Chain A
Amino acid sequence: MQTRMGYDRLLGTVARIGRVTEVTLEHAGSITLLAWQVVLATARMKVAAREVVNQLYIMGIQSLPIVLVTGSLAGIVTSQQGGYQMSSVVPPYILGSLVVETVVLEMGPVLTALVLVGRIGARITAELGTMVVSEQIDAYHSLGRDPVALLAAPRVLAGILALPLLVGIANIVGILAGQLAAEIDSGLGWESFFYGAKLFWHSWDLFYSLTKAMIFGLAIPLISVHMGLRTKGGAEGVGRTTTQAVMFMTLTILILDAVFPPLLLN
C-alpha cells in the first residue's frame, strides 16, 4: 500500500515537472517566434519611426526621474555598506573602486531593469491585454494590419535603445552619489575616490554594463508583449496576466544577471 502511494506521489511529481517544462518551452518558443517577427517587420521597414520615438519618450524620458532616484540610492547604499565593512582593513580609496564596479557591473543595470519591469513591462502587458480582450487586436487583423509591426516592434526597438541610455545615466548618477556619500560618511575626498576607482577599472566593464542593459531592454518588452497578446478572460484576465508577466520578467532579469558573469567577465 505504502509502495503504491509512494509510486503515485513520484508520478505526480514527474507529471508536474513535465507540465512546468512544457509551459516554459511553450513560452520560450512563442517569445522566440515573436522576436523573429519583430526582426522581419523591422527589416521590411514596416515599423513606424514615429511610434518608436513615442515609445522611446515613454520608456526613456518618462522613466528618468525614477531611474535617477534608484541610481542615486544604489550608489549611496553601496558606498555606506562598503565604507562600514572596509573600515580600517583596506586603504580608504578602495571604496572608490568598490562603488564604481558595483554600480556599473551590477546595481545600475539590474536595478534600472527591475524598475522598468514595474513601470514599462506591466504597462505594456496591461495595455496589450486590454486590447486583446476588447477585440482591438482582432480588429487590427481584420483590417489587414500586423499588430507585431504596429505594436510589438516599436516597443521592442525602443526598449533596446532606451535601456542602455538609462543604465548609462543610472551609472553616472550612482557613482556621483556614491562619492558624495563616501565624502560625508568616511571623509573620502573626490581625488582619492576616483584614484581608487581607476585602479581596478577596465573599459570592458562599461561594455559589459551596457550589453547587459541592451539584453534586459530586449527581454522586458518581448516578454511583456508576449504575455499581453495571450491575455484571456476580461478585466480579471488582464490583472492576472499582468501579475504573471511582472513575475516572469523579474525572474528572467535575475536569471540573465546570473548568466552574464561566466559568459562575459571570465
Chain B
Amino acid sequence: MIHYQHVWKSFDQPVLAGVDLEVATGEMFALFGPSGTGKSVLLKTTIGLITPDRGDVSVAGISVHRAGREALEEVRKKVGYVFQNAALFDSQNVFGNVTMGLPEDELRRLSNREVARRVWESLELVNLEPHAVLSKIPAELSGGMRKRVGIARAIVGRPEVLLWDEPTTGLDPVNTAAVERLIKRLSDDLEVTSLLVTHDVEGGLLMCDRVAMLDGGVVRFCGTPDEFHACPDPLVQAFIHREAAEAALSSIAAVS
C-alpha cells in the first residue's frame, strides 16, 4: 500500500539516507526511533508535505513525487493525516475543522444535511459528544479533545490510509491509553492501513502488526513485535529499555 523507495532527505545535515520500507494493505505498522531520526519527515514525504532529495514514495501504486499534481491530490484523498499537535484551524469551530476533512469535490456534491451527518458520525467514532463540541473553537478544548477532533478530521473523508504522527505525545497516561485504544479500534473498524510514528514503544508493540526502527537515516530493524523484542541488536535493546524507563518516569511524573 505504501512503498518508500530509497528515500533521501537532508536539511542542514542528512536526515534520511536511503529508507526502503513497505507497508502492506490493511496493516498496522509502527515506526520507532530516537528523536531526530526523521520519522516525522518520512511520514510527511508520504503525502508530499516534504519532497525527498532522492527516491520516491508510492501510495496504492501512485507515485507521490513523480506523477504530478493531480496524482498527488489523488493520494491526499486516500490518506488521512493525524498531526502531532492536532493542527486544528484556530479560526474555525469543530464543525468547520472536521468539515475540512471532506474532499472538496465531495463537499460540493453532498447536501448540508449529509455533511452534518458525516461530521457527527466522525465525532462519535472518536468518542466525542457532537452536540457538546461542534460549536467550540480549538482554544476551548482540552489537549485530548483536540487530538480527537484532529482524528475525526482525518477520518471523515473515509481514507484508505491513516498516518499518525506521534498521536499520544503530550497526553497523560490515561489519555494516552484511551487514544491508543481509539487508534486500534478505528484501524480495525474502518479497515484502513495505518502507519504510526510513535515514541511509545510499549503501546506501538501492542497495537501493531509490524514495526520498524529508524536510526542514522536508515531502517535499522523491520519485523513483527515479537521479533523486535527478541532482536539481538544492542541498539534496539537499548531503545526498548530506555523508552520503557522514560515511559515509566513520565507516568510517575503525571501521577505526582
Q: Is the CB of A144 within 8 A of B87?
A: no
Taking CB atoms, residues of chain B closer than 8 Å to A139 are 81, 83, 87-89, 100
Which residues of A136-158 have CB atoms within 8 Å of chain B's CB atoms? 136, 138-145
In the complex, whether A87 has a CB less than 8 A from a CB of chain B is no
A134 beta carbon closer than 8 Å to chain B: yes
A142 to B64, CA, bound (A): 12
The verdict on B84 contacting chain A, using a C-beta distance below 8 Å, is: yes
Instruction: Decide: A142 near B81, CB < 8 A? Known: A135-B87, A136-B87.
Output: yes
B:101-127 near A, CB below 8 Å? 101, 103-104
- Are the C-beta atoms of A136 and B90 separated by less than 8 Å? yes
Number of B residues, CB within 8 Å of A: 22
Chain A residues with CB under 8 Å of B103's CB are 143-144
In the bound assembly, the distance between CA atoms of A134 and B84 in angstroms comes to 9
B85 within 8 A of A: yes
Once the chains bind, are B85 and A134 in contact (CB under 8 Å)?
A: yes
**For the complex, is B44 an interface residue (Cβ under 8 Å from A)?**
yes
- Asked whether any CB of chain A lies closer than 8 Å to the CB of B49, the reply is yes
| B contact patch SS | loop
- The docked-state distance in angstroms from the alpha carbon of A171 to that of B157 is 51
Query: What is the CA–CA distance of A139 and B101 in the complex, to the nearest angstrom?
Result: 9
- Residues in B71-103 with C-beta less than 8 Å from chain A: 73, 76-77, 79, 81, 83-85, 87-90, 100-101, 103
- Judging by beta carbons under 8 Å apart, are A135 and B85 in contact? yes
Q: Are B73 and A138 in contact (CB under 8 A)?
A: no
Chain B nearest CB from A117 CB (Å) reads: 23
Kindly state whether residue B18 has any CB partner on chain A within 8 Å.
Answer: no
Complex Cα gap A45–B246 (Å): 52
Q: Are B100 and A142 in touch, CB under 8 angstroms?
A: no
Interface flag for B236 (CB, 8 Å): no
The reply to whether B77 and A141 form a contact with Cβ atoms under 8 Å apart is no
Interface centre among A130, A134, A138, A139 (most CB of B within 10 A): A139
Q: How many residue pairs, one in A and one in B, have C-beta atoms under 8 Å apart?
A: 47
Contact of B49 among A131, A142, A144 (CB under 8 A): A142
Decide: B100 and A145 in contact? CB cutoff 8 A: yes
Quote the shortest CB–CB distance from B247 to chain A (angstroms): 25
Who on chain A is nearest to B75 by CB?
Answer: A144
In the complex, the answer to whether B76 meets A144 with C-beta atoms within 8 Å is yes
CA A131 to CA B101, docked complex, whole Å? 17
CA distance A140 to B83 in the complex (A): 12
User: With the chains together, A133 CA to B77 CA distance in Å?
Assistant: 24
Verify A135–B76 contact, CB threshold 8 A: no
Q: What's the nearest-Cβ distance from chain A to residue B15, in Å?
A: 15
Residue ID in chain A nearest B156 by CB atoms? A143
Interface pair B100/A143, CB less than 8 Å apart: yes
Q: How far is the CA of A145 from the CA of B236 in the complex (A)?
A: 39
Shortest CB-to-CB span from A44 to chain B, Å, is: 12
> Could you say which residues of chain A place their CB within 8 Å of the CB of B76?
141-144
Q: Which B222-237 residues sit within 8 Å CB-CB of chain A?
A: none
Closest CB in chain B relative to A226 CB, distance in Å: 19
A191 to B92, CA, bound (A): 54
B17 at interface, CB cutoff 8 A: no
User: CA separation between A143 and B163, bound complex, in Å?
Assistant: 13
Chain B residues within 8 Å of A143, by CB:
76, 100-101, 103, 153, 157
CA distance A131 to B103 in the complex (A): 21
- A144 x B89 contact (CB < 8 A): no
The interface residues of chain A lying within 8 Å CB-to-CB of B153 are 143
> Is B207 positioned at the interface, with any CB of A under 8 Å from its CB?
no
What residues of chain B lie closer than 8 Å to A140, measured between beta carbons? 100
Instruction: Add 13 more A-B contacts to A131-B90, A136-B89, A143-B101 (CB < 8 A).
Output: A130-B90, A138-B49, A138-B83, A139-B81, A139-B83, A139-B88, A140-B100, A141-B49, A143-B76, A143-B100, A143-B153, A143-B157, A144-B103
A-B contact pairs, 7 of them (CB 8 A): A134-B85, A134-B90, A139-B81, A139-B89, A141-B47, A143-B103, A143-B153
